């Protein structure tokens, strides 16, 4: 699947190579890449290393870390496929990889999670630095220890907050301003567990170590503090 996605990505990028505005970007970030992970790593490194923060993250090292974390991760291709399948505003693989900040934030979290699993204090601080950079750039705050499944569509993405012990299953859709948080009363495992194929509407707040069952929908602006059964829709 990743090879097919990358071939389409190259075709779409080649169509923009002559554009005065986008040609240089697609040439350096897509057309010179070796595979999908290399392209995503270059796009992420370019954005995460931008001179817009008091803590500068070096681009070359970022690119290496991104490719290392993403190259053998099947969730990356699943995320691209999910965006094209479930977002009616998505028009191309190129858009997903270069201009879709929900995709960028998701892949950056996967990179930060790779550092977090390193276990040592230095690796954890690098993970937290990437988390902070993503929050600065895209207003998305996902802890490096959170577990994100594949086929994830974070649509619009602005204002999404996902806590340290949260788990999100495969093929989920999360809209902007969603919070998967704690109640403020617990430590340890304190964040929601979201099953497969769930939809969390804009502004939904899900709090505590509760389960949202497979195929469930949490409506926009809903506040949820109890388990949601499989296939259930909750509002309010």
φ, ψ dihedrals at 83, nearest 5°: -65, -45
> Could you give the CA distance from residue 173 to residue 60 in angstroms, rounded to a whole number?
32
**Domain range list for the chain:** 1-140, 159-236
Taking a C-beta distance cutoff of 8 angstroms, is the pair 96, 90 a contact?
A: yes
Topology of the domain comprising 159-236: UDP N-Acetylglucosamine Acyltransferase; domain 1 (2.160.10)
Taking only the tens of pLDDT, the chain with its 236 residues reads 889 999 999 999 999 988 888 899 999 999 999 999 999 999 999 888 876 555 667 888 899 999 999 999 999 999 999 999 999 999 999 999 999 999 999 999 999 999 999 888 989 999 998 999 999 999 999 999 999 999 999 999 999 999 999 999 999 999 999 999 999 988 999 999 999 999 999 999 999 999 999 999 999 999 999 999 999 999 98
Domain 1-140 is of which CATH architecture? Answer: Orthogonal Bundle (1.10)
Taking a C-beta distance cutoff of 8 angstroms, is the pair 230, 195 a contact?
A: yes
Output the CA–CA distances (angstroms, integers) from residue 57 to 35, 44, 182, 202, in the order listed. 23, 12, 30, 32
> Could you give the CA distance from residue 195 to residue 62 in angstroms, rounded to a whole number?
31
pTM: 0.92
> Could you give the CA distance from residue 54 to residue 75 in angstroms, rounded to a whole number?
31
CA 51 to chain centre: 22
Q: Do domains 1-140 and 159-236 have the same CATH topology?
A: no
């Amino acid at each position: 699947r990743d090879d097919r996605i990358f071939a389409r990505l190259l075709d779409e990028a080649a169509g923009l190579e002559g554009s005065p505005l986008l040609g240089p970007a697609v040439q350096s970030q897509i057309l010179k890449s070796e595979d999908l992970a290399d392209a995503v790593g270059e796009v992420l490194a370019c954005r995460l290393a931008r001179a817009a923060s008091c803590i500068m993250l070096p681009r070359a090292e970022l690119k290496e870390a991104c490719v290392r974390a993403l190259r053998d991760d099947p969730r990356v291709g699943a995320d691209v496929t999910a965006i094209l399948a479930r977002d009616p505003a998505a028009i191309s693989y190129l858009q997903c990889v270069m201009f879709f900040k929900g995709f960028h934030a998701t892949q950056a979290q996967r990179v930060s999670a790779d550092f977090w699993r390193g276990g040592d204090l230095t690796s954890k601080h690098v993970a937290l630095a990437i988390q902070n950079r993503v929050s600065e750039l895209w207003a998305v705050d996902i802890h490096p220890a959170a577990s994100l499944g594949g086929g994830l569509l974070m649509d619009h993405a602005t204002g999404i907050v996902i806590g340290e012990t949260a788990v999100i299953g495969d093929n989920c859709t999360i809209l902007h301003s969603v919070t998967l948080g704690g109640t403020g009363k617990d430590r340890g495992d304190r964040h929601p567990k979201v099953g497969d194929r769930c939809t969390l509407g804009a502004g939904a707040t899900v709090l505590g170590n509760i389960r949202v069952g497979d195929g469930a929908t949490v409506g926009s602006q809903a506040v949820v503090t109890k388990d949601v059964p499989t296939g259930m829709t909750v509002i309010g």
